[in-house]
Structure 1
């Protein structure tokens, strides 16, 4: 399973068929809907105001206000706002930070979703999926992957992560992935490996060698998901933008610049 994990880390968007890519996009549209549904909620706005007070370069969108903040702030705020896998806020912030496009976003989300599924009901399935998604988004090599894993996992209590602890984990995933792109000495960064028990959990769930077992097996109703997105985004963003988001997500591999897609 270690070799399979390496393949997921390096996956690019042509790894999936047209139907499988549609499923990845629909999953992402569901995530966006949950984010917009919470826009302007009292606690979400309070958190957004707190994060925005730190200032910084406009790199990624914060769902609570629709404003652009630093990628690390967006990862934290969006993870706190949406009860969705860590994969989504962390990967989306990583893609926006690097000014990458829909092909890279699709590949990173697909790889992370697949890894999450392959760990079954393991308590760290969500985290390993996010680690792979972030590594894919930053195009980390083998050394970068070991830095990401070591930095995020070293000394961390990883059970029952929820609430703000979960949001801070998304923040750390983004920062660690960004750092892992560069070469660092042993004194500056931790190196680590995925625990053998995590790999065993994937092997027990499925030993199939293909990358897209989960994505292929998804049975999503596009009409229902799009209708739900419209309902969640209604009165949260301008009506014309709702249809623009739907069209942009479903044609995501053709978008050359994700941040422009998310800007108002």
Structure 2
């Protein structure tokens, strides 16, 4: 579990969001997946059930009213256990309608109460060690039985479409600089190429090839923030053999060539400090 606080809005910055519950306690935030935009504010949460290349920014924050948010990783094994132990209504698996692997919802009093109890345990190590697992289990249950229960159920099923896409994403992340052959990736999952593309696009909003490109460029942007002058090395490290192609696709995604974008981000960071 993590807490984040800032007194100033931030520039859009990309990264790979893991399976996670992100609850805004104060202020507002915006996350984008491709062309799809998710705005959420105090009392709302973003739930992510598969690794996704999101671009996020804090949109409302000030010294008087800082942005505050909580993040907690989701655990598929807890969801699976709850599904097995619950009654017939909660065990019922929703039809695998094709839906994105993330969603925004209002947090109800039951979910907020469980999160508050978990936060109160943080200052008491022994209590936390003994009691936190039960409270985390309750948080997963509130999500499973809440408005995004269908998405959470798919997260807990090892053979669901969501889980298959998650395995494909895991391979892409582990082989960031490797060429993508859709037929090989589909064969790894026991799928046809058409099924792989359909599931992948429904859950991530993009094809496997588009996802790989977004993944590479997001990683390159993070590395260039630390080493803005090493463009050729960074491009090669994320799988680009052509520097001109890397610069062209980078500019298309972020609106500026790599060197200019890295300098802009560094200036923004210094200004925030």
TM-score by length of 1: 0.26
Higher relative contact order (CA 8 A, sep 6+): 1
> For the pair shown, which has the larger CA radius of gyration, 1 or 2?
2
TM-score by length of 2: 0.25
Higher share in helix = 1
